[in-house]
Each structure stands twice: as C-alpha cells, then as structure tokens.
Structure 1
Amino acid sequence: MISLPLVYTILALVAYTTGFWYSFMHLVAKRKPNKWFMVVILAIGLLLHGTVLRHDMITANGVNYDVFNLLSFTSGLMLVLGMLYSSYRPVSALNLLGIPVAASGLIFGFAFSQPNQFASIHAIGLDIHIILSLSAYAVLLMATIQAIMMWLQNRELKKKQKRLWVNLLPPFQVMESLLFDMLMTGFVMLTAALLFGFFMVDNFIQQHLAHKTVFSIISWVVYGALLIGHFRFGWRGQKAIRFTLAGFFLLAIGFIGSKFILEIILHK
C-alpha cells in the first residue's frame, strides 16, 4: 500500500522539477520567468515538503532530530530564503540551485530518516535554540555557496569566452550585495541561537555540546569580524569570500561533524 508521505514526496518533486525547468528554459532564452507562477509552484512544493517533514519530525514523543530530518528541514528553508531574497533583488537564477537542494534534502529525509532521535531534554527554549541554529546554518550555507559562485564568476569574467552559467548569473555587484544580506541574516540568527543555547544547556560536556559550541563561537567571531570590516573598512571581493568560506568551515566542523560522529559512529 502506498503511504501518504510517499505520495506527498512524489508530488513535491513534481512541483520542484516543474519550477526548475520553467525557470531554466526562460533564463536560457533570456526571458524573465513569470514571478507569480514560480511563487505558486514552489509554494506548493514547499507545502508538500513541509507536510512530509512534519510527519517524520513532529511526533507524540517530541521533535525527532534525526540528522536526515534536519537535512530535509535545512534544504527546504534554504529554498524559502532564496525565494525571499529574490523578491527584492534580481537573483531569481539562484533558485536553480535552491530547488535541486530542496529536492535532494526531501529525498534523503524521506528515505533515510530514523525514528526516536529525540533531545534528552524537552523544553520550548531548547527547541527554539535548535531551530535558530538550523536557520543560521541554512543562511550561512547559502552565503558559502554564494561566495563560491562569486569566486567562479570572477574567474570566468576574466576570460574572453564566458560559459553559459555565468551569463545566467546577476552582475557581480548584485551577487556581492546579496552575499552580505545573507551574512547579516545568518549572523543575527547565529547570535540568537548561541544566546538561547547558553541559557538552556546545563552541562556542555555531558550533553556532548562542548565541541559544537567552541567551533560555533569561533565561527561567530569570524563572521562578526567580516561584517565589521565590510561596513567600517569596506572589505569586499576576495577577502569577503575567504572569510565566508573560513567561517562556514568552522561552523560545519562543529555542527555536522559532531552530529555525524554521535549518531552514525557512536550511535548516541
């Protein structure tokens, strides 16, 4: 018997695929995609994505924080944020990245999520801390992808023959402005997540959070230094790209590394 989550997953993937190809064909033909069609089709996909995620993540025993559920949540949130950013900046082409990421996260979450991965302490404040952490991670991951694309874009622009994907991207200045929009949003979310964490966690060692916390704080310092350098000293370009990549590398070591080791290797 086919389950409803499977049906919702298939329908969400159909919506994502439709939105991707509609946007891709219009951008290749140098025609502007219909904004409202993209909003509606992606909203349908995200609604179905959220329904599947709710079935796997929200249970009678609490929130199931399985690593694949978190991957699904993060990927869907990235697409939501991409749609929001593209609503006021001419960066709709970046949804060509956000849609496959959301679709992949949905597939992994549906196929591989495990039950009974609950937090040891059930509290609203702790749930807020986790959601804020995931949201910050999603935005800063988007900023990292943005920085990589800017580096590649800058390298390709120096060549006489540009590749197709470079022509699909917005101008470098627009890409840079969006990068700092993402960094500011992610930094605020990361700050709030760290503050909630300090108030909610009783024992960082016993709860296996020391490693994650140390790397998160170092990452926070790196992002903060970049934002101060940008707004006060005009840091941009390659320096901004390097700081962004370094900050996310540290954040990923703390967030993904500790999660993978505890769940996959140590089974905790």
Structure 2
Amino acid sequence: MNALPALLALIATVLYLSVAIAVARAVARRQAPSRAPLLALLALALLQHGGVMYGLMIQPGGLHFGFFTIAVLHAWLLAVLALLVNLHRPVQGIYLVALPLAAFELSLGVIGHERAPVPAPLTPAVQGHILLSLLAYSILSISALQAILVSWQESALRRHRRGLLLALPALQTMEKMLFELIALGFGLLTLAIGSGFIVLDDMLAQHVAHKTVFSLVAWLIFAILLLGRHWRGWRGRMAVRFTLIGFVLLLIGFVGTKFVLELVLARAAS
C-alpha cells in the first residue's frame, strides 16, 4: 500500500480513538461530553477514512469486495451511522463501542489488504447486492451496539451510577431508537436477501449456503422481535437478547463465511 493511504488510515484511527477516549473521560468525571467538538473530529476522521476506502475499493474492472476491503467499508459505515445517530439525538455513549471497533477494522483492513487474494470481477448487479447487504449488516451492527448501551443503561440506573447516563438520552428514548434502527436494518436485510435470490445463480450453492441459512435465521429472529414489540410490547432485556442473537447469526453468516472462503480455504488450496 502507498504511504498516503496508510497515513490517512493512521490519522483516522487516532481521531476515532480520541473521540472515544474523550467520551470515556467525560463519563469517568461524571460530566456530559461536548457534542459539537466530537462531531467535528468524527467528521474529519470519516474524510480520512473515506480516502483509504476509495483507494482500496476502486479497482480495474469494478469494485473490490475482498474480506479486508469489506472490513474497511464496514468500519466507515459504522462510524457514519454513529455520526448520524448523534445528529438525530445526542447518544455520545455509542462512540465508546462503535469507534474503537471502527478503528480496529480499519487497521485490520489496511494491514491485511496487501496479503489478501484478489477475487474475480463481479457484475454490477452482484456489486449492488453486496453493497445493500453491507448497509443492512452495518445498520444491524449499530443496532447491536445500541442494544449493549441499553443493557448498560439499565444496569447503571439500577446501581445509581450517573456517569454513563450523562452520555445517553432517557432509557425510553434509547429503546425507541433501538427499534427504529432494527426496523430499518430489517427492511434492508429483507431487500438484500430478496435481491440475492434474483441476482445470484444459486443462493444455496455450496460457497454461499451457510451465509444464506444464517441470514434467513437472523431475518426470522428480527421479524419475531419486531412482531413481539408490536403485539406484546417487548422491551428491555428481551429486546437486547433478540437483537444480539440476530446480529451474531449475521456476523457468523456474513463475516465468518467470507473469512473461511477467502482466507482459509483459498490459502489452503494455493
């Protein structure tokens, strides 16, 4: 990799971690984090990260969707969603989990990119399906992080720990945002699965069967959760458990399958 993308990745990583540390210090001091400076730092980090992502993804013949490139893209989407969530409502606490994860994925993608095998070119329709799947996965990723925050917030309220609460809105608002994110992610996941059956020759072929099965089971979990919320008023621990179970299934199906196919089996065959 050229020096410039590596430098941009380093700057973005430092900025991500700086925002997370600033929130952690404010929580430790039982102070409300400053919103505007954190948004500005995060926006600057996203610009640097975007430059790295562009260099890795844009390849001769179309977009490149290798395992490490997807890690960089998912990290960017995760940070963008954290920014958008905070533009909608002040939820600086989400920086504590989203941004260290984004920094890790960005670093992993940049370090591993050079050693990764180059996959065969994909048709525009398949590229669109992958981007839609990534967007759904990213929104459900931020939903899982939101669920973790809801769990932490409930625990902090029971134990009368005020620090974390200053970085979050009211618990009822947090739960409302959680289900808004889940509903959006569920809708995109539905479109992604549907588009897969249309643009892929065989969604149950050997190399994508595990991904398809895990995605369908995750879709069912999120569908049950949304129905339970609508008909039974599910919230709290029930919502957190279903959200995390559904996300773990997606993680195994999407990331786990791609890791095994590209890095384990491909290298074993070479």
- TM (norm. structure 1) is 0.88
Alignment of 1:44-83 (within 5 A): 44-83=44-83
Alignment of 1:131-170 (within 5 A): 131-159=131-159, 162=161, 164-165=163-164, 168-170=167-169
Matched residue, 2:8: 8
Higher RCO (CA-CA < 8 Å; seq separation 6+): 2
Structure 2 residue identity aligned to 1:54: Y
Equivalent-residue separation in structure 2 for 1:259 and 1:48 (angstroms): 26
Judge conservation of contact 1:64–1:116 (CA < 8 Å) in 2.
no
Summarize the Cα distance change of 1:175–1:57 in structure 2 as closer, same or farther, 3 Å threshold: same
Structure 2 residue identity aligned to 1:85: V
Equivalent-residue separation in structure 1 for 2:168 and 2:35 (angstroms): 18
Alignment of 1:110-149 (within 5 A): 110-113=110-113, 114-118=115-119, 120=120, 122-149=122-149
| Aligned residue pair count | 265
Q: Give ranges in structure 2 of 5+ residues lacking alignment.
A: none
Shift of 1:108: 0.7
Comparing 123-132 with 166-175, greater Cα deviation is found at: 166-175
Summarize the Cα distance change of 1:207–1:44 in structure 2 as closer, same or farther, 3 Å threshold: farther
Matched residue, 2:201: 202
Matched residue, 1:100: 100
Equivalent-residue separation in structure 1 for 2:184 and 2:64 (angstroms): 26
Structure 1 residue identity aligned to 2:246: G
Equivalent-residue separation in structure 2 for 1:210 and 1:11 (angstroms): 39
Equivalent-residue separation in structure 1 for 2:33 and 2:215 (angstroms): 40
Judge conservation of contact 2:93–2:149 (CA < 8 Å) in 1.
no
Judge conservation of contact 2:186–2:222 (CA < 8 Å) in 1.
yes
Equivalent-residue separation in structure 2 for 1:157 and 1:219 (angstroms): 30
Shift of 1:174: 2.2
Summarize the Cα distance change of 1:172–1:53 in structure 2 as closer, same or farther, 3 Å threshold: same
What is the identity percentage for the equivalent residue pairs of Structure 1 and Structure 2? 35
3-state DSSP of counterpart to 1:87 = helix
Structure 1 residue identity aligned to 2:88: Y
Shift of 1:132: 1.2
Matched residue, 2:220: 221
Matched residue, 1:182: 181
Judge conservation of contact 2:117–2:262 (CA < 8 Å) in 1.
no
- Please provide the CA RMSD for this pair: 2.4
Summarize the Cα distance change of 1:256–1:60 in structure 2 as closer, same or farther, 3 Å threshold: same
Judge conservation of contact 2:11–2:45 (CA < 8 Å) in 1.
yes
Judge conservation of contact 2:94–2:149 (CA < 8 Å) in 1.
no
Shift of 1:25: 4.3
Shift of 1:110: 0.8
Matched residue, 1:240: 239
